């Protein structure tokens, strides 16, 4: 067993009140997925604010994130659409940009896709969740907005890079340092864990995979051992798990729902033992 100087603070309570007690410019990284206000059945959260109120509330907690974020910090905001409200991801973005943040990058979380291989055949990857509709196609996509204070935050693209297709590129340019890694681009294929495994373990209806948060941590290029990470909507703690896995020094999370909070704590403790 290794001992690391890490601190994980999980707070049961409203993130808006909680964040107000954090010092200005103290956080390197925020990864979060807010309640969508789309009728998704959250446990206790009052999920029925009307549109304008919802966007106003969004601006409120985002403004707190802006305050606690360091000038070179990054805020990864995960937002998906819903058939009942396909505009929400766009409206949320324009509620925050350009007033509070710059949109430095837009990542696309691809859950399922069919691609043509170089051999010429089509392969489907990821879990395809069917919907029965004459007019809607299945939505296999969510946004990950990369928001920063000035739009000029340096990243380490190759930290979450992929192998070159043509290996000649490894020695072709100096920046590779001999490693077979190039930038991954902004399409992030991250399949869901299978339904059965999910339902057995967790009750949260809208959550992102641990590996998605891990990728956000990685691309910042900051050493996790010196990183302070914040998750205002902890949910069942996937950002916390990613922080633990990658060795993030300080993690602060808020969750207003008791059930989710308990689940997040349980999962984090489970990881501690293993």
Binding residues for its own copies, rule: CB under 8 A, are: 81, 86-87, 90-91, 93-94, 97-98, 103-108, 110, 112-118, 122-126, 128, 130-131, 134-141, 151-155, 157, 162-163, 165, 182-187, 189, 191, 219
Beta strand 187-189 with 228-231 is unpaired
Closer by beta carbon to DNA, 2 or else 132: 132
Q: Measured from the CB of residue 133, what is the shortest distance to DNA in angstroms?
A: 4
Closer by beta carbon to its own copies, 129 or else 270: 129
CB contact set of 112 (below 8 Å; sequence gap of 6+): 124, 125, 126, 127, 128, 129, 138, 140, 191
Closer by beta carbon to DNA, 18 or else 218: 218
Coil, strand or helix at 83:
coil
CB contact set of 13 (below 8 Å; sequence gap of 6+): 254, 255, 256
State yes or no: residue 50 binds DNA (CB under 7 A).
Answer: no
Closer by beta carbon to its own copies, 6 or else 91: 91
Structure tokens at 201: 């373990």
State yes or no: residue 117 binds DNA (CB under 7 A).
Answer: no
Q: Measured from the CB of residue 107, what is the shortest distance to its own copies in angstroms?
A: 8
State yes or no: residue 187 binds DNA (CB under 7 A).
Answer: no
Closer by beta carbon to its own copies, 60 or else 115: 115
Closer by beta carbon to DNA, 21 or else 134: 134
Structure tokens at 269: 């403790």
Window 75-114: contact mask with DNA (x via CB under 7 A): -------xxx------------------------------
Stretch of 4-12, 58-66, 196-204, 223-231 lying at the interface with DNA (CB under 7 A): 196-204
> Which H or E run contains 52?
helix 51-68
Is the N-terminal amide bond of 98 cis, ω within 30° of 0?
A: yes
Report CA-CA distances (Å) from 220 to 89, 214, 216, 258: 23, 10, 7, 31
Question: Contact at 8 Å (CB) between 138 and 128?
Answer: yes
State yes or no: residue 136 binds DNA (CB under 7 A).
Answer: yes
What angle do helix axes 51-68 and 88-96 make, rounded to 10 degrees?
Answer: 50
46, with CB counted inside 10 A (0-12, 13-18, 19+), is: exposed
Pick out residues in 3-42 that bind DNA (CB under 7 A).
40
Footprint of DNA (CB under 7 A): 40, 82-84, 118, 124, 126-136, 164-166, 168-169, 172-176, 182-183, 191, 194-196, 198-199, 205
């Amino acid at each position: 067993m290794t001992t690391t100087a890490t601190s994980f603070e999980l707070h049961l309570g409203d993130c808006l009140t909680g964040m107000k007690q954090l010092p200005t410019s103290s956080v390197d990284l925020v990864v979060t997925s807010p309640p969508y206000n789309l009728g998704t059945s959250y446990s206790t959260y009052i999920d029925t604010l009307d549109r304008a109120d919802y966007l106003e509330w969004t601006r409120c907690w985002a403004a707190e994130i802006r305050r606690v974020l360091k000038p070179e910090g990054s805020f990864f905001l995960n937002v998906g659409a819903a058939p009942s409200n396909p505009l929400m991801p766009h409206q949320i973005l324009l509620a925050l940009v350009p007033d509070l943040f710059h949109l430095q990058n837009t990542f696309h979380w691809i859950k399922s896709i069919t691609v043509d291989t170089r051999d010429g055949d089509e392969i489907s990857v990821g879990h395809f969740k069917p919907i029965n509709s004459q007019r809607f196609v299945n939505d296999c996509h969510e946004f990950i907005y990369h928001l920063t204070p000035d739009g000029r935050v340096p990243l380490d693209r190759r930290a979450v890079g992929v192998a070159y297709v043509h290996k000649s590129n490894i020695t072709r340019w100096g920046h590779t340092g001999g490693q077979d890694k190039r930038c991954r681009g902004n399409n992030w294929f991250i399949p869901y864990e299978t339904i059965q495994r999910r339902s057995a373990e967790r009750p949260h209806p809208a959550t992102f995979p641990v590996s998605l948060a891990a990728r956000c941590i990685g691309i910042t290029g900051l050493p996790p051992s010196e990183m302070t990470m914040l998750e205002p909507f902890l949910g069942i703690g996937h950002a916390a798990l990613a922080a633990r896995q990658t060795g993030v020094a300080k993690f602060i999370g808020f969750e207003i729902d008791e059930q989710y909070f308990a689940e997040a704590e349980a999962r984090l403790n489970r990881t501690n033992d293993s």
